Amino acid sequence: MPDSKYLDKKNLVDILDSLEVGIVYVDQDHKFAFVNKAGEEIRGICSEDRLGTSILQCHSERIHGKVLDDLHAFNTGEYATRHKMIKSKGKYFDNNYNVVKDENGNFRGVVLASQDVTEKVELERQLVKANEELEKKIKERTREIKNAYEKLKIAQFQLMHSEKMAAIGQFVSGVAHEINNPLDGIQNCIKMVLSDLDNKEQAEDYLSLALEGLFRIEVLVRRLLDYAKPHSNEKVRVNVHDIIEDAIELTKFKLKEKGIAITKEFHNESLFIFGETHYLGQVFVNLILNAYDAISDDGSITISTSVDNNKNIKISIKDTGIGISEEDRIKVFNPFFTTKQKDNGTGLGLYLAYNVINEHAGNIDIKSEINKGTEIIITLPHFEESNEVIKDNIEILDTARK
């Protein structure tokens, strides 16, 4: 049994009066039985006037029925506790009602603990407002980023388009130059023939020179037409191994001429890219033929494929040919750069390969050592059905190309 001084009524009232929580106790006859100091303030009740009076006097008649119903519900045990948030005179109160019972469990009344939570509510409101503002700002920023992205996409497209136009200009002037050279020669030859029609021997020499010039133009035009030949340029999901196999099939008779062995070191699984089979096929045929041209006899070509951690497909075409000098290596992608005999090369193969690989969001690199050989390394994005980014990038490139 605790010391009785601690249960002293005065002591208890002092304790309850020291609380910031308003305590109002209403007995089973719905009369005010106790109100602490904070309760007086919060409820606007003066204990001296109110103690022993009915709580109905504090409520308008209109809600007397409701108040009595609530008290009855506490009495019958329908409510054990209740919680209500009320607003009074611009302040918010968190009200908790609890049933008070005697030692036999009989209903004695209801105690209301009322706490001023105005500050908390105000803070919450500010928080909600700040949150709303934040959301608004995030939405604005997202919109700005989206707009910037769209603008960037357009700029990227325009840039690629202008680069493309510059490249076309460079290409066209190259074509004109390549045609003009032999045309000049042909013109001169014909002039020479016409100047001395009786000189049959001279006429024969000049006419065969003119024919050589015409043949050179014919090869060039055929090559250009081949590249521009109508074909379905729709990009599809395609296994690079199939494209390489087709290119080997197309070139194997030529390789046999020099007894060149071709070795495949393919990755053990299919490697898919999103691309145009026609153009890519041309790239590999040209690379194999370049290797063929570089190898004198009995050399070999190794084509290997792999995939790296960043999901890039790597294709290597390695030969044991004459190699490329450092000086030439920076020129080999230029249109019409060739070191081959007049009728053997137009110098367009690597130029076109570079463009095609670029248009597939890929890269083409060269490693070479004189008299040891050359390795052409192509990287292309690995394409999985779900990989929309690759499709997007390639589609931007496509749009720029048109």
CA-nearest of 285, 319, 284, 317 to 299 is 319
Is the Cβ–Cβ distance between 300 and 260 less than 8 Å?
yes
Site for Mg ion in 226-245 (CB under 5 A): none
Which of ligand ATP, Mg ion, none binds 347 (CB below 5-8 Å, type-dependent)?
ligand ATP
Residue 349 or 381: which CB sits closer to ligand ATP?
349
The encoded tokens of residue 136 equal 């608004």
CA 390 – CA 213 distance, rounded (Å): 45
Phi-psi region of 224 (alpha: psi -120 to 50; beta: other; left: phi over 0): alpha
Give yes or no for residue 315 binding ligand ATP (CB under 6 A).
no
Q: Is 22 helix (H, G, I), strand (E, B) or coil?
A: strand
Q: Is 374 an interacting residue with respect to ligand ATP (CB under 6 A)?
A: yes
- The pattern of x and - marking residues 346 through 365 that bind Mg ion according to CB under 5 A reads ---x----------------
Our CB check for ligand ATP shows the closer of 305 and 374 to be 374
The DSSP letter of residue 60 is: -
Closest residue by beta carbon to ligand ATP: 349
Q: Is 251 in the site for Mg ion (CB under 5 A)?
A: no
**Among residues 97, 272, 279, 337, which is the contact residue for ligand ATP, using CB under 6 A?**
337
Q: Among all chains, which residue has been given the structure tokens 């809600």?
A: 63
Q: Please tell me what DSSP assigns to residue 198.
A: T
Whichever of 146 and 340 has its CB closer to ligand ATP, that residue is: 340
- Return the number of the residue (338 or 387) whose C-beta is nearest ligand ATP: 338
By CB under 6 A, is residue 277 in contact with ligand ATP? no
- The Cα-based distances of 126 to 91, 134, 138, 187 in angstroms read 16, 12, 18, 89
Torsions phi, psi of 329, nearest 5?
-60, -35
Binding mask 343-362 for ligand ATP (x = CB under 6 A): --xxxxxxx-----------
Amino acid at 178: E
# binding residues, ligand ATP (CB under 6 A): 23
The closest of 34, 11, 10, 12 to 23, measured between CA atoms, is 34
Partner interacting with residue 305 (select from ligand ATP, Mg ion, none; CB below 5-8 Å by kind): none
The correct pick among 210, 324, 378, 394 for binding ligand ATP (CB under 6 A) is 324
Residues 394, 141: Cα–Cα separation, whole Å: 28
* Radius of gyration for the chain, computed over Cα atoms and rounded to the nearest angstrom: 46
- Region binding ligand ATP by CB under 6 A among candidate stretches 162-170, 186-194, 324-332, 392-400: 324-332
Indicate which single residue of 321, 362, 383, 390 sits in contact with ligand ATP (rule: CB under 6 A): 321
Number of residues in the chain:
402
Q: Give yes or no for residue 379 binding ligand ATP (CB under 6 A).
A: no
Candidates 54-62, 87-95, 111-119, 342-350: pick the segment binding ligand ATP (CB under 6 A): 342-350
Q: Which residue is listed with tokens 């394409």?
A: 383
- Minimum distance from CB of 291 to ligand ATP (Å)? 5
Q: Read off the tokens for 286.
A: 């040209």
CB of 138 to ligand ATP, least distance (A): 52
How far does CA 287 lie from the centroid of its chain?
A: 33
C-alpha to C-alpha distance for 254 and 50, rounded to whole angstroms: 115
Could you tell me which stretch among 18-26, 159-167, 192-200, 321-329 binds ligand ATP (CB under 6 A)?
A: 321-329
- Applying CB under 5 A, which residues contact Mg ion? 286, 290, 349
Chain residues in the site for ligand ATP (CB under 6 A): 286, 290-291, 294, 319, 321-324, 328, 332, 337-340, 345-351, 374
